[in-house]
Amino acid sequence: MKRLLIGLIRSHEHTSDKAKDPKLKSHYYRLSKDRAWEEVSSILKKMKGYKVLHEVQTVGEIVMEKKTMSGRTMDITIQVVGTSPGNTAVDIYSASRGSLGDLGANYRIIQEIYGVLDRKLSSYKT
């Protein structure tokens, strides 16, 4: 219910180490940055309903979009950041195009993407 109320006014959501909501904390994997990039990029390209628009491996950024049933477009940026040799963090920023709130849709998109990544990379999750 809280997400729905927040979503009335806010049309974006992001993850970070400092997030108050535990579901919006960065996810870490025991993989080198290059290997994590390959895995994450491959997984995201196979997700139904999402379209990868742009990838920049040197900065670890993947830009995607998702069209909702209501016709809105969500812009999603995934960052793959090497935190130490053999460890990588994945952060997500999702924003809705348009002026009104998203009713929590960006929050749900982040949870969906993390769910798929965690399932596919479960043996590397920290």
pLDDT tens sequence across 40-89: 999 999 999 999 999 999 999 999 999 988 788 999 999 999 999 999 99
Q: Give the confidence band of 105 by pLDDT, cuts at 50, 70, 90.
A: confident
Q: CA quadruple 112, 18, 99, 104: dihedral positive or negative?
A: positive
Check: CB of residue 14 under 8 Å from CB of residue 94.
yes
Instruction: Identify the CATH number of the domain defined by range 2-124.
Output: 3.30.530.50
Largest CA distance in the chain: 43
Phi, psi of 104 (to 5 degrees): 85, 10
For residues 62-73, one letter each, b for 16 or more C-beta atoms within 10 angstroms of the residue's C-beta and e for the rest, the string is bebebeeeeeee
Check: CB of residue 12 under 8 Å from CB of residue 103.
no
For the chain, give every domain's residue range.
Answer: 2-124
Q: Give the confidence band of 121 by pLDDT, cuts at 50, 70, 90.
A: very high
What mean pLDDT is reported for the chain? 91
Burial degree of 91 (CB within 10 A; 0-12, 13-18, 19+): buried
Its pTM stands at 0.90
Phi, psi of 100 (to 5 degrees): -85, 165
pLDDT at 101 over 80: no
